[in-house]
Structures are given as structure tokens and as C-alpha cells.
Structure 1
Amino acid sequence: MGRRILMLLADEYRPDPRVRKEALALVEDGINVTILSWDRGHHHESRSEKEGLKIECVRTGKVYGLLKLGLNYPRFFLKAFGISRRMDFDSVHAHDLDTLLLGVAITRLKGVPLVYDAHEHYAAMVAGDVPPFFARVFDRLEAWALRYVDLLVTANSKIEEYLLPHLRSPRVNSVVVMNCIDYVDQTPTHRDHDGIIVFYSGSLESTRYVEDIALATLDIEDCTFKVAGDGPLRQRIEQLSKTQDRIIFMGYVPHQELLESMIDIDLVACLMDPSNENNKIGTPNKLFESMVLGVPVLVSEGTLSAEIALEEGCGIAINWSEGDFKEAVETIRDSRMRREMGDNGRRAAREKYNWGIMKKRLVDAYRSLSP
């Protein structure tokens, strides 16, 4: 029988693109993967199988809002721990801090290795949603739990640098697996259209400047803003889209459909408020997806995203202001400049930022992990 991995996910498996890609990469290498996920909205069967992955769902009370999340998390922890006791596996792969402590408990009981997959700088990510005391507690809990980790996987080098000092030994392996997509040799065909189309997909929140872009777009001639995703600003963006023809709200769009729709985009907005540490060191999926598709990106100065985009020549970095945004849009109107940035992004994706490279890193790290 091949190796068996239990993946822990404190959210619904919709699926999250990173979780899916990593799980499928391991399955392709002959590993049996079971994903134990939290069915927060009661949308999924208790057991299912998709693409060769076994998915077990944990149900608590329905979760909507931070209060319900906090009240139901202990139930998720205990139920997931109970389910795991009846399962056989050789290692546990914990996605983000909200499953790391669960992973520590399970692996200490079972005597198997623990893999920690840090998608974000977790404490910094939640800092705007919880009192500072809780953010500090999360940071210290993560540092404490890292001493039990046998393989560290991070979404970029900055997150890795932040977490490495807390591992129990320099001999513990660490690998950076970025949220890249497969590189496609054939250059995507961008269809002609009038004006400039700016696109944003992700969490609809103020730190991503979504509403700011929408309002600024209204003052720019022949400029349309397309928005996909969900979050606190959803209602506001929906309202604007109903009264303004040049703001198009797409709601939730499946990942593959999203990539197909991006072929017609002129500029992908990857702006994040750099005053938040997680934003400063974060690398949004859309940065790498835009590279493969040959679409220029708009990033925030002072972030890792800007560092990558400027180094590769595939985007424009600004400190948010309506004036700087308008200037970026005018720059993108130049088809030669747009094509040059797109070609630079494609080259970077082919040479550095593609899933083939990242998949090999992950698989190699797992092969070196002692069962």
C-alpha cells in the first residue's frame, strides 16, 4: 500500500486552488490523500471522492461571521480530532494556522510526521479583524507549534524567512511552493475590445482598494472595472454595478472560468495596503496567473508583489491614489507597452513561476520526509 496523507483544512473544500493542486501533485506521485475539511455552511456530503481525492467533511453549527466562527471552532477541532483517531495515515499536512494546533495534537497521538503549509502570515492577516491581543496570541501559538513541525511549506520566501527561526532545528526541511499555475506554451489570444478593462478577483475588502478602483474608474474615459469574489464589500460593489454600466460584478466564478475570462483583460489589479504585514509579504494568486496569461499587473509599492513585478518587468507599481491609478491606466492604453509587459510576464512564468517547478519542489520534499 502506498503512503497515506491526511490533509487538514479549516474551511470548505470548494476547492481552494492551492490545496487542490498540492493534493493532486501528491496523488500523481502515488500517495493516497484524504482531505478532512470543515463544512462551515453545510453544503457538502459527509464523504465524497473527487479527482482521486477522498474528502471527509466535519460539520458544526453553521458558520457566518467572526462570532459564529469562534464559537464553532472548538467543536470543529474536537470532531476532527475524533475522526482522525479512526483513520490510518503516514503523515499530516496542516493548511494554515487554523489547523496547525490540530495537526500537532493528531501527530503527537499517532506518532507520524507533521507538515505545516503556511499560505499567509496568519497573525498579520487577521490583525484587522480581531483585537491586537488575539493577533499576538496567534503569533505566539504559531511559533510554539512550529517546534513540532517536520516539514515546512510556505507560499513564498518572505513567509519562510519569518517562520524558519521557530523550527526546532535547522535540519528541519523547508520548501517554498508558490501559488503558480501550469505554464501553457501556446500564447493566449487576446480578443480586441473597446477601451481598457481592469480586473480584480479575490476578497472584497477595503485593504485591496476594490471600492477605490471602482469609483476611480467612473472618472476615466473608456475604462471598465470587472470584479469577481466575495467579502465585506460585496453589497457595495453589487450596488455600484447596478447603477454604473462600466462596473461589472461577476460574483463567485469557478477558477477555470475565471482564468478563461482573464484573457480579455488589459490590467489585473493586485493592490494591497502595504501597512499590513501580511499584504506586504503576500503574493496573490492573480500575480502568477496574470504572468502565464500575458496580462500586466498593477501592484502596490513596498510589497513583495511589486518587487517581483518590477524585477520581471510585467507590471506597474503605485502608492494608491486616484491620480496614480489613472496614470497607470493611461500607460496600459499603449498597446506596445501592454504587449511588452505581457511578454515579460510569460517569460518569467516559463522560467521561474510555474506549477511544474513548484510541484517538483513539493513532491521532492515529501519523498525526503521520513514516515
Structure 2
Amino acid sequence: MNIVIIRSNQVNPDPRVEKLAEILVKKGNRVVVLAWNRNEFYLPSEQIVNLYNFFYKIIRVRIPGEYGKGLSNLFPILKWQMFLFLWLVKNKNIYNIIHACDFDTIIPSIIVKLLFKKKVIYDIFDYYTDSFKIPFFLRPIIRFLDKIAMKISDKIILCDEIRLKQISFYDLKKIEIVQNIPKDLLFYFKGNPNYLFRKNCNLTLAYVGILQEGRFIKEMIEIFKKHLEWNLIIGGFGPLESEIIRNTRENIIFLGRLSYIDALRVYYESDAIFAIYDPSVPNHKFSSPNKLFEAMMLSKPIIVAKGTGIDKLVMEEKIGLIVDYGNIKDTEDAIRKLEDKLFRDSLGLRGRKLYERKYNWQFAEKKVINIYNELNNN
């Protein structure tokens, strides 16, 4: 099969896209990734990724734009849509399946499907109107177009069953659940020590990801300013980056943008991970973040917010702690509990066993392969 994967970021990194490309090329498929480079102009416009002598190409289009800016980013989004449509038409003979990630890639993909009878997989990482700043008057229009795209697509991929309620689309023959499960790298890290920071404290807590409001990052920094006996490690990029840099100190360390493997190493070297998302944000109520499964794989406890998409699993399986979003004392108390090594190790071990039993990489890989084989045979 010849496949084009489309993602509206620079794929530097994008774990879900990179894992998908790896699965497909190792099965003998030809893969091209189309990516939108908004603000990192040092990145190459074309990149060949070598995975142990399996190759795929990333093509990045440079269209200046910003994340989370609403209508002020409208013109760059329209330019991105036009680029996708023209590229897909011009190169229509080099692919037969389009894997479109999120709403901001699906409309050109659907048009090209109708014009040239291509197969389209609609991979919904985040439900668009619940995830981004969209003017009220545009929301019903986008939801309407989204429903049409779902109906026309050949397959829809969701990262968790709870997203069925969010998207309100129930053609279960068309929908597949592929969770954000990482490859098992625990024993790789154990056998390849390469310390990114020194631990000289009672506890090290880590977060690597998008640095934006609604993820308890600023609040966590204020907590760690008062507790010099704890280390806070932050990595990633986003609107809060400059503010985080201003607040770095001996026990608050900012590592900047990290590769996926280095992000996992940070988690491995830390004592616990936090993924505390604001439950008042609609998309967070249905979230299934990479961090949850990465914590399981690495045998680390995780702190999450009550009322988000993952709190019930964390609570029922006893693989981490639940806090009230915005409650500083509640979060401090949770961190204090994790100072007990026996307690946090017990949480991490339960998470690891759950990963091995139910949320392992082989299961996710098999799901992806079956989806593509089914499309190819129809």
C-alpha cells in the first residue's frame, strides 16, 4: 500500500504519527507524512526517517502561524488547506490511502477521495470544536462539516471508547479504537543509562508536552517554589515557554523541546508523572493522553485531575493519584504521599502489570495493521 499521513504540526515530535508510520513501513508499505511547519524554520522541508533500514519521508510546508490563536490564525489555516488539496491532486498517482489526522486535515482529503476514489482514514486525535478557540458562530458549521467527513470517510480511528459520546457518531462498523500505547522501552532504559539531570531531592516529578493553560503547569511551578525538597522537570514547547524559563531555579528545571525518546527518558528517570488537565475544558473530559500509557509502560505513578477522561481508570486500577484541579493543597498532599518510595513503587508496578496485560504495544500494532488490511481488501 502507498499511504500519505497528514498532520497539522511539524511532526517534531509527534509520537502517535511516528508510531503509525513505523508500523506501516515495517509491513512493507510506502509512507509519506505531510506536516505543517508553523514556526520552526530550521527544520528541513524534506526529511527521510530511517527505522533500522525501513524508510519514510516527512514533507513539511512552511506556513507561518501560531497555535491557539483562533480567528487570527484563519489565513494560515486556509493556506494549509489549499496546500494539502493541491499536493494531494498533484501526487494522486503515488498513494491510494490518506490517513488524515484531525479536522484540520480532513476536508481536502474528503474532496480528493470523491474526485479520485481514494480511501480515507479519519484519525480523530482531538475533537476540533472542543479543543480549540473557535468563535461561537463557527462551531455549528464545523460540527456539521465534521459529521459529513465522518460519514464519507472509510474508517474512523479514536484513541478511547469514551470519545464515542463526544463525537456523537455511532456507525460502529466504521469506528476503530487505537489507544495511545507506547512501545515497551522499559528494559532499554534500564540497560542504557544516560542521565539528563541529577536527582538530589525527596521526589522528582515530570511533565513533557504542550506548554499551555489548563494543564496545571503554572500552579505546579508555584508549589515547587515553596518545596525545595522536590524537583520539577518540565519539557516541551508552547505559549507558556517563556514564563517557565523565567521561573526556573535549582529545583525547577526546564529542558525545552525534547525528542520522543528523551521525553520517555525524563519520565524513566523521574519518580512520578503528572497529567493534570482542567476538566472544565470539554476535550479534557474525554482525554486519553500518551502520558497515562507511558507511565504504565515505565512503571511510574501518575497524578491526574478528577473529572477528566482518565481519572476513573487511574482510581480503579490504583496506578496513581487523583486531585481536584486548581486545588493547591490537594496536589501538595498527593505529592507528599509519593515521597514514600514503597507506596509509589506499588502504584507503578500495578501500572506496569496493566500495560503488560491489557495496554501493550503489540495489541495496538495489530489493530492498525488490521484496519489497513481491511481497507486494502475492500
Supply the distance in 1 between the matched residues of 2:223 and 2:252 (Cα, whole angstroms): 11
Q: Runs ≥4 in structure 1, deviation > 4 angstroms?
A: 187-193
Q: Paired residue for 1:141? A: 145
2:65 to 63, 66, 69: 63
Q: Paired residue for 1:286? A: 291
Deviation at 1:166, TM superposition (A): 6.0
Q: Paired residue for 1:132? A: 136
Change (3 A) 1:186 1:82: closer
Q: Paired residue for 1:236? A: 243
Q: Paired residue for 1:176? A: 177
Correspondence list, 1:324-363, <5 A: 324-363=330-369
Supply the distance in 2 between the matched residues of 1:185 and 1:290 (Cα, whole angstroms): 10
1:222 to 211, 216, 229: 229
Instruction: Report whether the alignment pairs 1:50 with 2:70.
Output: no
Q: CA RMSD in A?
A: 2.1
Q: Which amino acid aligns with 2:49?
A: K
Supply the distance in 1 between the matched residues of 2:162 and 2:57 (Cα, whole angstroms): 32
Number of matched residues? 361
Indicate the SS of the match to 1:317: strand
Give yes or no for contact 1:197–1:224 (8 Å, CA) kept in 2: yes
Give yes or no for contact 2:46–2:60 (8 Å, CA) kept in 1: yes
Supply the distance in 2 between the matched residues of 1:34 and 1:338 (Cα, whole angstroms): 42
Supply the distance in 2 between the matched residues of 1:76 and 1:103 (Cα, whole angstroms): 12
Change (3 A) 1:238 1:165: same
Indicate the SS of the match to 1:202: strand
Supply the distance in 1 between the matched residues of 2:188 and 2:109 (Cα, whole angstroms): 42
Alignment gaps of 5+ in structure 2: none
Q: Which amino acid aligns with 1:48?
A: Q
Instruction: Report whether the alignment pairs 1:298 with 2:287.
Output: no
Give yes or no for contact 1:58–1:80 (8 Å, CA) kept in 2: no
Change (3 A) 1:15 1:246: closer
Supply the distance in 2 between the matched residues of 1:133 and 1:156 (Cα, whole angstroms): 29
Give yes or no for contact 1:146–1:166 (8 Å, CA) kept in 2: no
What are the superposed Cα offsets for residues 293-316 of structure 1, whole Å, 9 maximum, x if unpaired?
A: 111100011122111212221100
Q: Paired residue for 1:252? A: 257
Give yes or no for contact 1:160–1:176 (8 Å, CA) kept in 2: no
Change (3 A) 1:135 1:193: farther
Supply the distance in 2 between the matched residues of 1:185 and 1:247 (Cα, whole angstroms): 25
Deviation at 1:275, TM superposition (A): 1.1
Supply the distance in 1 between the matched residues of 2:180 and 2:2 (Cα, whole angstroms): 24
Q: Paired residue for 2:98? A: 92
Alignment gaps of 5+ in structure 1: none
Identity of aligned residues (%): 24
Q: Paired residue for 1:29? A: 27
Correspondence list, 1:315-326, <5 A: 315-320=320-325, 321-326=327-332
Q: Paired residue for 2:83? A: 79
| TM superposition score normalised by structure 2 | 0.89
